[in-house]
Amino acid sequence: MNLAARASAGGLVKSNDKKRARLEAPRAPAGPRVPGKELVNTGWFSADKWRDCWSNISTSGAAAGDAAQVNDFLLVLVVITALCFDFTNGFHDTGNAMATSIATQALSPRVAVALSGVMNLVGAFLSLAVAATIASGLVDTNVVTLPVVAACLAGGITWNLLTWLFGIP
């Protein structure tokens, strides 16, 4: 009787034997290999699964009201993520922008941070050139959906936190 059979039969098996039994257990065939997709379609992460999940999120057989609720939820999620990104981007940029004036003692840290906050707020409302460029047809709105925007914002937050953690300006 091999270890896998002993483990499934409930016999006395040590924890090392259980690990070995799991390794010896027969596995399902891996399926067809597609070059370049070995890392994408392995384990629980499958590009096809995630694509189907996001593409069917509003057409999963739910009523029209349910689809609207899902879209509203995604919109709220994107707005909250955008606010979190704005916060992390603000404290990241404040350190970079005000380091010289604080190091030379031209401004106290409290005044420098307040000045940076006011100028970031004014700058956000002063120019809409980036938004106008994006809206002019530079980006295909059929491709850039709410989940894509949420993923980009999450990537930006992650980048801000990693560069802050490692002290990269």
pLDDT in tens, 81-104: 999 998 898 888 887 788 889 999
Clarify whether residues 44 and 70 are in a common domain: no
Clarify whether residues 17 and 36 are in a common domain: yes
Position 94 in a domain: yes
Clarify whether residues 77 and 159 are in a common domain: yes
pLDDT reading at 38 higher than 50: no
- Domain carrying residue 132: 65-165
- Average of pLDDT values for 41-62? 52
Clarify whether residues 26 and 97 are in a common domain: no
Predicted pLDDT of residue 71: 82
Clarify whether residues 73 and 33 are in a common domain: no
Tell me how far apart the alpha carbons of residues 56 and 66 are, in angstroms, rounded to a whole number: 13
pLDDT reading at 4 higher than 60: no
- Poorest-pLDDT segment among 81-90, 97-106, 127-136, 153-162: 127-136
Predicted pLDDT of residue 134: 80
Q: What is the pTM of this model?
A: 0.53
Position 9 in a domain: yes
Clarify whether residues 86 and 158 are in a common domain: yes
Task: Give the amino acid at 42.
Answer: T
Chosen domain end from 20, 35, 55? 55
Clarify whether residues 75 and 126 are in a common domain: yes
Position 122 in a domain: yes
Chosen domain end from 31, 55, 79? 55
Provide the number of structural domains found in the chain. Answer: 2
Tell me how far apart the alpha carbons of residues 28 and 18 are, in angstroms, rounded to a whole number: 19
Predicted pLDDT of residue 98: 87
pLDDT reading at 50 higher than 60: no
Position 60 in a domain: no
Clarify whether residues 108 and 142 are in a common domain: yes
Position 18 in a domain: yes
Which is nearest to 18 in space by CA: 38, 34, 2?
A: 2
